[in-house]
Structure 1
């Protein structure tokens, strides 16, 4: 039983879709029709009127491609962070010869709005404006869900493009996509499809910014995906597209509000059971994501993870970096956002703790 916060368990019908013979993406219009249908359904899940594209590549491709497509050498980027993936955006900016300005907050706290506003104001006063700002909606390693709205208000005030990693929140909780210029998702999280595809919602002004600069590569350039009527930039991952189309159709049929409510119920049950076992949350309840629960078990997370898998055949995740042995993560997202499945997982954790 795979209960990690990505890759997630894949429903049988999604696996079956992936196993079917696929049209040739280079020469058959049937594949283009399928791709366009997927993008339209993704607009529903994103709840946006922005263009949505689906390049081939695991979710981290989207993070790098957003920077590669927007940032020219010397461009300044404000990287807002309270976690590993927020920090990682600064590394992408640096690798494309941009100039990152990292505004950090503790991993178990929200964004530092005062520091963000100061950085934006100082840049404006020096006539050295930021081109873009990066954020992470759900920091998966810690289960932290960030409030994007106050930061987006500031970015609107200073006319700064927004890039948001919503990979582990998209579909499971509302995302203000229409306020975001580049909003990134991935197939292997709430969508519950196999890893291999990035999803990106892109605003008109983000497209314009991409068109104004010289491309640095093909594979990490999002611009060629704006119009695929004459063909795809490279051979697409046809079986992955078929699988993701089936997975996304499941969410569309269920309806966004129903999916959000299902995730809230699963998260609530997980945390109720955790409290009964004396487990602390990381971060607190107010900042915990509906898609993943992080239990703070200093020095014990890896031992419990191994025991749950060995004795109950349930795969959980620990955290990353310095918190690897301090946080045990339960990924109640997508296909796994069901109360009965959560109960089975929490029963196994209870037995492992005993």
Structure 2
């Protein structure tokens, strides 16, 4: 089957984009550097974003895919020689250590099994009598479908005076994120927002801003510093660090409207329901979710263990049914098949069609 309007993109980001968001992206763009009408639009967009983040912290939108946010957070807060605690129970948690090393920092990686969460007591033991510049972690490990419940861990780090950087790229907008316990919380347009890839979202606490100001910034695009004192006039064009991706901002604005119009509580309930539906159908087909406990199972993506069959199943699903899923990553590339039920795809009918197709190819 070739690509058509009937193709169902059920990957865990980029997700399918709803028609209203595509229409918004197609609006004639203004020049954000000179046209006064951009100012009130941008202020309103940031206000909506803060409501989705559920925070009074500053929120920013950067032009670049979500990885830009991960690198920018580390580049802004970490200097050469700094020790950084990297909590890792997946590929993206491990990946933070690479960004720390790029900055000349010293990553201390706390590894946990990929199918379970973090041990709070072990984290306590690690931070005692250590002077960490920051700690990094991932809320939803998309490659394995594990959602980390780390509010206790965040409390331990707060008590120890350690700044926290959290990758919430695959959870923000699909489930509750404890943003006000996080110093730098990172999101992206192409996941639960169901907007085209190309924007990073960030919330920054007062403590994080203080650290940014005290840290030597030897980069511009991957630094939060240029955004520190940006003022957005109510009736004029703002002076932003660079020309923003206006069409992507229009799309993001429409995506935020969809979330807020539905109500965040209803959005989160919808994600929980379709995730349970997906796991139940999978188990009926003899497939086990990678997360060993449903309490750890993400409401935005389900990863099924398929032992060496992921690539074949992915190919047949697209060819025979027009359903596009993702395989695992790294060592799990052919052992995990992933269903993205986030944002626009957190829909019972879309999940049912996906699982019906999977049932057919398994038969």
Show CA shifts across 1:32-67 (max 9, x none).
322221111011111111111001000000000000
Partner residue of 1:168?
Answer: 170
The CA distance in 1 between the partners of 2:31 and 2:23, in whole Å, is 18
Partner residue of 2:329?
Answer: 320
The CA distance in 1 between the partners of 2:127 and 2:22, in whole Å, is 46
Unpaired segments ≥5 residues, structure 2:
1-7, 232-237
Partner residue of 2:357?
Answer: 348
The CA distance in 1 between the partners of 2:60 and 2:228, in whole Å, is 7
Alignment RMSD (CA, Å): 0.9
Partner residue of 1:240?
Answer: 248
**Number of residue pairs the alignment of both structures matches:** 349
Partner residue of 1:47?
Answer: 54
Range moving further from structure 2, 113-122 or 152-161:
113-122
Partner residue of 1:276?
Answer: 284
The CA distance in 2 between the partners of 1:48 and 1:344, in whole Å, is 36
> Which of these residues, 65, 68, 83, is aligned with residue 58 of structure 1?
65
Q: Is the 8 A contact 1:34 1:242 kept in 2?
A: no
Structure-to-structure mapping, 1:80-95, within 5 angstroms? 80-95=87-102
Alignment partner of 1:253 is 2:255: no
The CA distance in 2 between the partners of 1:29 and 1:211, in whole Å, is 30
The CA distance in 2 between the partners of 1:87 and 1:36, in whole Å, is 35
Partner residue of 1:222?
Answer: 224
**SS of the residue aligned with 2:62?**
coil
Partner residue of 1:297?
Answer: 306
Unpaired segments ≥5 residues, structure 1:
124-128
> Which of these residues, 83, 107, 114, is aligned with residue 107 of structure 1?
114
The CA distance in 2 between the partners of 1:266 and 1:79, in whole Å, is 31
The CA distance in 1 between the partners of 2:149 and 2:59, in whole Å, is 23
The CA distance in 1 between the partners of 2:154 and 2:37, in whole Å, is 39
The CA distance in 2 between the partners of 1:205 and 1:122, in whole Å, is 21
Structure 1 177/134 Cα, relative in aligned 2: closer, same or farther at 3 Å? same
- Which runs of structure 1 show a deviation greater than 3 angstroms over 4 or more consecutive aligned residues? none
The CA distance in 1 between the partners of 2:43 and 2:202, in whole Å, is 14
Partner residue of 2:182?
Answer: 180
Partner residue of 1:140?
Answer: 142
TM-score w.r.t. the length of structure 2 is: 0.95
Q: Is the 8 A contact 1:94 1:100 kept in 2?
A: yes
Partner residue of 2:40?
Answer: 33
**SS of the residue aligned with 1:55?**
strand
Alignment partner of 1:337 is 2:361: no
**SS of the residue aligned with 1:134?**
strand
Q: Is the 8 A contact 1:317 1:330 kept in 2?
A: yes
Show CA shifts across 1:169-210 (max 9, x none).
011111000010000000000000000000001111101110
The CA distance in 2 between the partners of 1:32 and 1:312, in whole Å, is 45
> Which of these residues, 151, 161, 165, is aligned with residue 159 of structure 1?
161
